[in-house]
Structure 1
Amino acid sequence: MQPVSQANGRIHLDPDQAEQGLAQLVMTVIELLRQIVERHAMRRVEGGTLTDEQIENLGIALMNLEEKMDELKEVFGLDAEDLNIDLGPLGSLL
């Protein structure tokens, strides 16, 4: 059973499953921040300001973060589409 209505891509908390809806919202924010960090890291790599070791460490950290996100999505029964909420006139979040 879905914690929120996904028919229109908006979050609608079901009072009986508020914990699941809250998990979806928190995971959405975390995924947005993860993508921002990843884009910033790529700009730094492309800018040539990092050493090979820093690039390697950054790559490992980003892979670990993505793996942890996948684990958390599984724990809460969410998939990538569940984290892509509709912001109305602004479009989709992710």
Structure 2
Amino acid sequence: MSQTKLDHRPEKSGRINLDPQGAEQGLAQLVLTVIELLRQLVERQAIRRVDGGTLTEEEIERLGVALMNLEVKMDELKEIFELQDEDLNIDLGPLGNLL
């Protein structure tokens, strides 16, 4: 009797896959999508503050290091859960894509 390997990767349709067999994968996709959205918002705000001249050189350096560390951690998590950048850009129907 042969065993069939189940594929728990999210669907490539841009929709979250929360079926019982792939619940962990779907939840990871959802959580990483929210984190990526927040990371992009923080990055945009940081750029505005740097451009506005409201940060010291030390604050700019710390902010840059923190954003780079977050990006590295996101890459690690995407690798663990076998996700790609496009997997985090979920389809919101008539509103378009999230990211």
* TM score, norm. by length of structure 1: 0.92
Segments ≥4 residues shifted beyond 3 Å: none
Taking the TM superposition and a 5 Å limit, the aligned residue runs for 1:1-94 are 1-7=7-13, 9-94=14-99
Q: More displaced, 21-30 or 9-18?
A: 9-18
TM-aligned CA deviation for residue 2 of structure 1: 4.6
Structure 2 unaligned blocks of 5 or more:
1-6
Write the distance in 2 (CA, Å) between the matches of 1:10 and 1:76.
Answer: 16
User: 8 Å contact 1:3–1:13 — kept in the other structure?
Assistant: no
Write the distance in 2 (CA, Å) between the matches of 1:32 and 1:68.
Answer: 15
Write the distance in 2 (CA, Å) between the matches of 1:89 and 1:54.
Answer: 40
| Higher Rg of the two aligned structures | 2
User: Match for 2:35: what amino acid?
Assistant: I
TM-aligned CA deviation for residue 33 of structure 1: 0.5
User: Match for 1:44: what amino acid?
Assistant: R
User: Match for 1:4: what amino acid?
Assistant: P
Write the distance in 2 (CA, Å) between the matches of 1:59 and 1:21.
Answer: 30
Write the distance in 1 (CA, Å) between the matches of 2:11 and 2:48.
Answer: 36
Structure 1 unaligned blocks of 5 or more:
none
Over aligned residues, Cα RMSD in angstroms? 1.1
User: Match for 1:39: what amino acid?
Assistant: R
* TM score, norm. by length of structure 2: 0.88
